[in-house]
Amino acid sequence: MNQEQELIDFVTSQRWFGSKTREVTHSSVVDRATLREEDPHLELMLVETRFDTGTHETYQLLAGDSHELDSLADPRQVRELVHLMRTNTKLPAGDGIVEFAATEGFAGTGHELREARPVGAEQSNTSIVFDEELILKVFRRLEAGINPELELLRFLTEHGFENIAQLAGWYAYTGRQMDATLGILQQFVAGEDGWDRALATMGSESERFLDSLHRLGEVTGRMHAVLGSDLVDPAFSPEETSAESLGLLTATVDEEIESIFMDLPEDNPELEPIRGRGEEVRERLRMLTNLGGAGRVIRHHGDFHLGQTLWADEDWVILDFEGEPARSLPERRRKRSPLRDVSGMLRSFAYAASAAPLQRGIDPAADWEERARTQFLDGYLKTVDQHLVPSGASMDKLLRVFELEKAVYELRYELNNRPDWVRIPVAGILRLLEEEVPV
């Protein structure tokens, strides 16, 4: 087998390969850097895969000897990556440089790492936990530009926001092919996943979980206040919402509604409550976007839901700042209203209430979702910088716009991936149709 076919077979068979429905016609190593000369040899490779459409994607491999295209399962190899960060090493590549860096408190400190275990649940990246103290996330599919997870974690760490897994280091490629973030190193936080905690407490222990959502709202409000606090850095300084940006949001959501309602499949009875109501949904969107004010736009989490949170040491930790994986990197770095994160969490409460019977055989109390929303929003509004969000009816309207955007996004996702779950976004769309529009 030639090297090109070997690359194609290997990359396309991995869980992190993101284009399994597309035909790869060509693959090659477009740049490489030796990270470790001695045994065990370690080499970073940027592998380009080209598709029959003429487009391409770039993936990161960390190869061992000549017969091992990816050696991240070897603890010696992943420990070497951490060592290179601790020593702030720069290494030449064929057409560029691979730079390793550590945060101020991490460089040159710490004992020798011993145990390394992979995190098995991931789809798009590869993560390794060291001694239950550090976690390394290796980005597999690379896009040109700084990854928003590195950018946001570095900003929040430097500005003293404590409810994250603190950034310890990172490594990146700069060269003719692209400039790209390759991986990040963080403090490892052991805790209970927010989604699992919601489902596990849905029955007799629901009060304990619902009470904690007030704190989650406070943490979220504090996160947004910090992200909107720097008036100097152009990448983070808050900006007034313009009529053009609001119009772009409305047009984008409107286009998505029109597209998805035109192609609703005929064979799913769960879709009947919204079938043929696309224009009604678009009209509701137009009513909601008649705002008196829309607050400001800031950098935000971008994919905020219960699964991106941990309950640890009686407090909430927020994880995974990459943004929605289906969106391009420039889209994920765009400043948006912080209410987009809030709406994502509110939709997550709806998902939890609907998933409990499906996954746990538990029917939540009839008012569980409404109480979850109330607790979270109360904590959020008491903590967020009031200059960042609109007030009164304008806030209620804008929040509903983002909930509608999210529900339509969910509808497309479930139709493509989990048709049995379609009723959840359908219920969200119906709810927004039936609610009175705030005056």
What one-character-per-residue DSSP string does 68-125 give?
-S--TTSHHHHHHHHHHHHTT-EEE-SSEEEEEEE-TTTTT-SPPP--EEE-TT-SSE
Tokens 């152009």 -> residue:
234
- Token reading at 126: 């590869």
Does residue 335 have a pLDDT over 80?
yes
Q: Quote the pLDDT of residue 108.
A: 52
- Token reading at 268: 């799913």
Does residue 389 have a pLDDT over 80?
yes
Q: 7: pLDDT confidence band, cut at 50, 70 and 90?
A: very high
Q: How many whole angstroms separate alpha carbon 239 and alpha carbon 172?
A: 29
Largest CA distance in the chain: 70
Does residue 61 have a pLDDT over 90?
yes
> pLDDT digits over 202-218, tens only?
988 899 999 999 999 99
Q: Quote the pLDDT of residue 422.
A: 94
Q: Quote the pLDDT of residue 423.
A: 92
Q: Quote the pLDDT of residue 24.
A: 93
Closest to 336 in 3D by CA, of 252, 255, 277: 252
Closest to 307 in 3D by CA, of 189, 166, 197, 157: 197
DSSP string for residues in 321-362: -S--TTS-HHHHTS-B-THHHHHHHHHHHHHHHHHIIIIIS-
Q: Edge-to-edge strands of the sheet including 56-63? A: 24-36, 42-51, 56-63, 141-142
Does residue 127 have a pLDDT over 80?
yes
Q: 124: pLDDT confidence band, cut at 50, 70 and 90?
A: confident
Percent of the chain predicted with pLDDT > 70: 98
Helices (H) and strands (E) in the chain, counts: 12, 16
Please give the helix or strand (H or E) that residue 195 lies within, else none. Answer: helix 194-200
Q: What CATH number is given for 192-434 in this structure?
A: 3.90.1200.10
Q: Quote the pLDDT of residue 248.
A: 79
- Mean pLDDT value of segment 16-41: 91
- Mean pLDDT value of segment 9-20: 90
> pLDDT digits over 336-388, tens only?
999 999 999 999 999 999 999 988 889 999 999 999 999 999 999 999 999 99
Indicate where the chain has its CATH 3.90.1200.10 domain(s): 192-434
Q: How many whole angstroms separate alpha carbon 226 and alpha carbon 203?
A: 35
Do 227 and 146 meet the contact criterion of CB atoms below 8 Å apart? Answer: no
> pLDDT digits over 98-117, tens only?
999 999 877 655 667 888 99
Q: How many whole angstroms separate alpha carbon 214 and alpha carbon 380?
A: 8
Environment class of 169 (CB within 10 Å of its CB; exposed 0-12, middle 13-18, buried 19+): buried
> pLDDT digits over 254-290, tens only?
998 999 998 899 889 999 999 999 999 999 888 888 8
Lowest average pLDDT, out of 87-101, 298-312, 339-353, 411-425, goes to: 411-425
Q: How many whole angstroms separate alpha carbon 1 and alpha carbon 20?
A: 21
> pLDDT digits over 152-188, tens only?
999 999 999 999 999 999 999 999 889 999 999 999 9
Closest to 85 in 3D by CA, of 138, 45, 40, 124: 138
- Mean pLDDT of the residues in the chain: 91
The amino acid present at 275, given as its one-letter code, is R
Q: 66: pLDDT confidence band, cut at 50, 70 and 90?
A: low
Q: How many whole angstroms separate alpha carbon 406 and alpha carbon 400?
A: 10
Peptide bond between residue 40 and the one before it cis (omega within 30 degrees of 0): yes
Q: How many whole angstroms separate alpha carbon 375 and alpha carbon 198?
A: 14
Does residue 43 have a pLDDT over 60?
yes
Q: 122: pLDDT confidence band, cut at 50, 70 and 90?
A: low
What are phi and psi for residue 120, nearest 5 degrees? Answer: -80, -15
